[in-house]
Structure 1
Amino acid sequence: MDAPKVSSTKVANAEAGDTKTPRTERGRRTLRKLLDVAAIEFGEKGFHEASVSSITRRAGVALGTFYTYFDTKDALFRALVNDMSDNVKSSARSALDDDMNALETERAALHAFLEFARDHKEIYRIIDEAEFVDPASYRAHYEGIAQRIEMRLKSGAEAGEFRQDLGEVEAWALMGMNVFIGLRYAVWGDAKSDLEDVAARANRLLSEGIAT
């Protein structure tokens, strides 16, 4: 499996928690490489079977280099979950346009997520494992997504395009739908799955509901 490539990715949240912030461009590239390789390693083997030595070998860096950036494998895992959360957010934002109406925004955000998940299938295993390895990161990941959806719903309500009573419950419901659509069509689906059509059908459910 090739290392995941996210062209617009920043080294997310490097200054937070116990990740050591690189001071040079070379250091930032090395940190990026470690995160990308860790995504493959954790995605293939899971947290407990993955090892620091295997990650550094795959990244082509010395074992000691790892400890320049992380104190433990747990610290790397936390940084990776934060990084993936940031990438999900960035992929959605890059697909949105100020001229889109509220429903178009939700369709574009879902389509962008599906494309991201197809390219980075390991995100599902890693985020699911975070529930047990680092519950705080797991909760922060989903709370962050739900908050962004809720903000979009309220913005749509202010524009007169959505009902005025939409809030947290609807945001979590919408997120749950998106997550499982991603699992079915981006992760379990094949390369021929029409993700744009999938996003459009989910969007129709938002606009028309399911009642006759």
Structure 2
Amino acid sequence: MTTADASNATPAGKVPRTERGRRTLRKLLDAAAIEFGERGFHDASITAITRRAGTALGSFYTYFDSKDEIFRALVDDLSGKVREAAKNALQADLPALDVERAAFAGFLRFAREHKEIYRIIDECEFVDPASFRQHYQTTANRIRERLAEGARRGELREGLGEAHAWAIMGMNVFLGLRYAVWSDDASPEEVADLANSILSEGIARSPSGKK
């Protein structure tokens, strides 16, 4: 997410009006990601966030009223980064299954560079349940839209809906936890290929008995 895009995460009425302000906001959000990722919501502090960001304490309150508020803004910011990572991995006119492979590989690369996203999103379920639900709902909606487009083009079967989108998202989330956060013993492309084979081939034994 660019410096300017970070403004979308701020509360109404506190959007920075200058490039300097946008850079300060970006520093605060980046510092918050490290602070919350390392220490968790309850042990994190505003003072530590501003120290990591190299900004004055007063700068924090220019954009946020509390630790809860910057946490909610950070979740929104990270959701936007996940969306951009998947979007930027796509190329024009890819077949439907290749779209899913590329989008997932993009997410895996992002998660490897920002492992803190898992802890932050997990804590969000208890700190701000509405933002937690919104994060996953919007992600599932994007997958569902891609599935619908694939079906419209005749590349995927009809009848794919919300449950299918959530199932794919769940697979992606936990493969990301295993291969992006816990270890890196397989490349993002290898993991994406594995996930894609599940989508294209399923797990049932073929009628011919081949593996």
Q: TM-score range by the shorter chain?
A: over 0.9
Matched, 1:175 2:169: yes
Matched, 1:152 2:142: no
Distance 2:183 2:7 in 1: 29
Kindly state the Cα deviation for residue 19 of structure 1 after the two structures are TM-superposed.
7.2
Tell me which residue corresponds to 2:60. 66
Matched, 1:205 2:190: no
Kindly state the Cα deviation for residue 97 of structure 1 after the two structures are TM-superposed.
1.6
Q: Report which of the two has the higher share of helix.
A: 2
Deviations 1:83-128 (A, max 9, x none): 0000000011111122200000000000000000000000000000
Q: How many residues align?
A: 205
Check whether the contact 2:86–2:103 (CA below 8 A) recurs between aligned residues. yes
Tell me which residue corresponds to 2:189. 196
TM, length-normalised to structure 1: 0.93
Q: 2:6 aligns with which of 8, 11, 33?
A: 11
Moved more, 18-27 or 162-171: 18-27
Matched, 1:143 2:137: yes
Kindly state the Cα deviation for residue 14 of structure 1 after the two structures are TM-superposed.
3.1
Matched, 1:112 2:106: yes
Kindly state the Cα deviation for residue 193 of structure 1 after the two structures are TM-superposed.
2.5
Deviations 1:41-92 (A, max 9, x none): 0000000100001111111111111000101111000000000000000011
Distance 2:123 2:8 in 1: 20
Distance 1:100 1:159 in 2: 11
Moved more, 173-182 or 193-202: 193-202
The verdict on how the C-alpha distance between 1:12 and 1:168 changes in structure 2, with shifts beyond 3 A counting, is farther
Q: What letter is aligned with 2:190?
A: D
Distance 1:110 1:166 in 2: 18
In structure 1, stretches of 5+ residues that fail to align are 1-5
Matched, 1:186 2:190: no
Please identify the structure whose Cα radius of gyration is greater: 2
In structure 2, stretches of 5+ residues that fail to align are 206-211
The verdict on how the C-alpha distance between 1:7 and 1:65 changes in structure 2, with shifts beyond 3 A counting, is closer
1:56-95 aligned within 5 A: 56-95=50-89
Check whether the contact 2:64–2:70 (CA below 8 A) recurs between aligned residues. yes
The verdict on how the C-alpha distance between 1:148 and 1:19 changes in structure 2, with shifts beyond 3 A counting, is farther
Check whether the contact 2:34–2:116 (CA below 8 A) recurs between aligned residues. yes
Q: What letter is aligned with 1:14?
A: A
Distance 1:201 1:8 in 2: 35
